[in-house]
Chain A
Amino acid sequence: MTQKLGTVVSGSVDGGVDVRLDAPVSVEDMAVGRYVTIEGQKQRFFGMITDVGLAVTDQQVSQSPPDLSDPFIAEVLAGTSTYGTLHVLPMLTIGGDAGLLEGPQPVKTIPSHFSLVNLASDEDMEMVFGKEDKERYWIGNPLDMETRLCLNLEEFVKRSNGIFGKSGTGKTFLTRILLIGMLQKSKAVNLIFDMHNEYGWEGSSEGSTHKVKALKQLFPSKVAVFTLDEENSRRRGVSTDFVVRIGFDEIEPEDMVLLRQTLNLTDQAIGAIYQMRRRFGKGWIESTLEMRDTEETRQLLRDLSIHESTFDNLRRGLEKVRRLPFIEPHVATDAVKSVLDYLGRGMNVVLEFGRHRDITAYILVANMLARRIYARYQERMEQAMAEDTTRPTPLVITIEEAHKFLNTEVATQTIFGTIAREMRKYNVTLLVIDQRPSGIDAEVMSQLGTKITCLLDNEKDVDSVLAGISGKSELKTVLSRLAAKQQALIFGHAVPMPVSFQPREYGTAESYRHFAPADAGQVDIEELWG
């Protein structure tokens, strides 16, 4: 149902338009983040309410307030001498010279004086965001609306995307919802670096009492779970597909560079890493660690002009890596090949870290695997282009704690920085999840196609997420008014205009039935409802 709210009284393209509310409309029923339509003379506008205000026609009204205990006076003054205002940021136009066929267009002008303003109806929203269909996936509902907010996932995965929000706002839940969508409605496959064991299989009951199912449980035939901690996975009853071990001899200097901060390596130690690699070849870490305190060693260090304290610093760091339980001197299985095999078959791979949740392990493994997998993608893509054969399946890599890989200091050196900057050149994109987006390099942030952000309470984080978007200060208000949980603002490439929404409910038996309907190809869903 459309409801007339009021009329446009002033405005500009830059600052948005001011709307005077009609008498019967109470400001208390308005909310920032809601959508309105404005009937201009030649086109319809779509806009978001970004502020709600109170106004009086005459200063005397505030100075000598009328006796509102008299219902007659109150009724007369509401909406006349005292009235509500809205500030609306127009975002899209429909119709007009561009014609109806072209669909919604970005705004280049504003509606004329006294254009009527209505609350956007469910049909209006559907017209802008589209209906659920083969490519469009229902991610949630616009705040206070029945309509389903649908995202074109084919478009979504074409670029790297980000999910932000402070701790406990629902990033992980939202990510699960999106992963399920991609798994069903996009042609992309996913590789998920699952630091907290939340995406493959239901989390351990430690800490939380309520377990929610994860991808492999809902789509066993489409998801493979890799683990770095076999024992932990077994104890949790996870059916794993592959146990990942990392060989010492597989670690390259580039993999160490990223660990600089977590291992407290000095600049000189980083330099020494490259020298050691050059000197000892593939087995450089073993060789470095084996060096005894002999004259021979000292001579070598002098030759390489590595200071003794630098050498100690490096060894301490390498020791820490060696102590990671999944590291072995040499490993016969090839985790990279195995991941690629699964991906090649259209399976999605979740890599669980088990108990190895310390950031060193996460950064090392994610970076090592991603770098190698990306290199293979690059080769295959170049080959496919040269020979005009089929290209590798688009790949989306999900990482949590993204700022560890993408902060300004390392973004230029890590594979993740490269992927984010090269867009989809080699059919690989990122889904980055972070609670401190201000920690992510600004250029990387600007490359993210679509951003979904839950509540953020740090000014710097808000600024970094909203950087470069038009109507930034207005959207800031909207963002800061999101609920502490399960509400988010989405904007960017995959949506025609920013919209705040409530992500779908995830975690009830009912919700699993919706996310994984019986025809989705999974076995024995009945069992899961128990």
Chain B
Amino acid sequence: MEERVGEVIEASTVAFTAQCYELYCLPPLGSLVSTRQGEVELYGIVHHAATGSLEPGRRPIARGRDEASEEDIYRSSPQLLKLLQSEFCALVVGHREGGEMRHYLPPQPARIHGFVYLCGPEEVREFSQSFGFLNLLLNAHLQTPPDELVAASLRRMGLAREDRHDFLVRAGRELALLIGDFNQLKSILGRLR
């Protein structure tokens, strides 16, 4: 079962950014999301998320001095839900074309206003049959440290699998072969549990 989590508002070959329909309804770090681009299904891994003012120039101001709880702030100023927005960025890690899963970049970037879905367990299992995507994650230049991102995505994929332990061991072995720096490897393995 897929769950729609947002809509593409910015896209490039290697990544896309989506805005959530509901404030704070963000897919977790490292989760697998997808969006369609014609016949091609693009897959991305959520590497960054942010919530802020809808208009770039206007910063939110503190409002809660006279309120008893945080919830009360939103209750007294319902317009806030319209002025604020949550958005997330996904790194493109593969695509599916003609039924075939590919762990490399698609020919075209995502479309603006394309719907973005959080992949269900079945799709996650299918995507994580092999580990070709790890290389894309390790080599991306992102704000999020790659160790964190790789560990988060593998942890999440592990949740979708019954053979979680075996899956993580296999992933770990793959990483051991990909990563030359033993300390980095140790740091990722340490974050996998």
Contacts and interface: CB of A to CB of B under 8 A. Distances in A.
B168 A72 contact: yes
Contacts of A23: 173
Interface residues of A, number: 15
Given A72-B168, A75-B169, A76-B176, A60 B183 contact: yes
B181 A72 contact: no
Interface stretch (A77-85, A110-118, A244-252, A299-307): A77-85
A27 B87 CA distance: 52
Given A72-B189, A72-B193, A73-B189, A79 B182 contact: no
Contacts of A73: 186, 189
B173 A64 contact: no
Contacts of A60: 181-183
A61 B169 contact: no
A58 interface: yes
A80 B182 CA distance: 11
Which residue, A61, A73, A76, A80, has most C-beta atoms of chain B within 10 A?
Answer: A76
A14 B185 CA distance: 37
Interface in A47-64: 57-58, 60-61, 64
Nearest to A82: B176
Contacts of A57: 176, 180, 182
A168 interface: no
A81 B169 CA distance: 13
Contact of A76 (B181, B183, B189): B189
A60 to B, nearest CB: 4
B171 to A, nearest CB: 9
B181 A80 contact: no
Contacts of A521: none
Given A72-B189, A72-B193, A76-B189, A58 B169 contact: no
B146 interface: no
A396 B183 CA distance: 67
A62 to B, nearest CB: 9
B192 interface: yes
A66 interface: yes
Contacts, number: 41
Contacts of B168: 72
B182 A76 contact: no
A58 B180 contact: yes
Contacts of A79: 173
Given A23-B173, A76-B173, A81 B185 contact: yes
A356 B189 CA distance: 75
B131 to A, nearest CB: 13
B172 interface: yes
A489 to B, nearest CB: 38
Nearest to A81: B176
A80 B176 CA distance: 6
Contacts of B62: none
B186 A72 contact: no
Nearest to B166: A75
B169 A64 contact: no
B183 A64 contact: yes
B192 A72 contact: yes
A80 B177 contact: yes
B182 A81 contact: yes
Interface string B154-193: 0000000000010011001101110011110110010011
Given A60-B183, A72-B169, A77 B176 contact: yes
B76 to A, nearest CB: 49
Contacts of B175: 76
Given A58-B181, A60-B181, A76 B172 contact: yes
Given A58-B181, A76-B169, A80-B176, 4 more contacts: A58-B180, A61-B182, A72-B165, A76-B175
Q: Which 9 A-B pairs have the closest CB atoms?
A: A76-B172, A80-B176, A60-B182, A58-B182, A81-B176, A80-B173, A75-B169, A61-B182, A76-B173
14 contacts: A23-B173, A57-B180, A57-B182, A58-B180, A60-B182, A64-B182, A72-B193, A73-B189, A75-B172, A76-B169, A76-B189, A79-B173, A81-B176, A81-B185
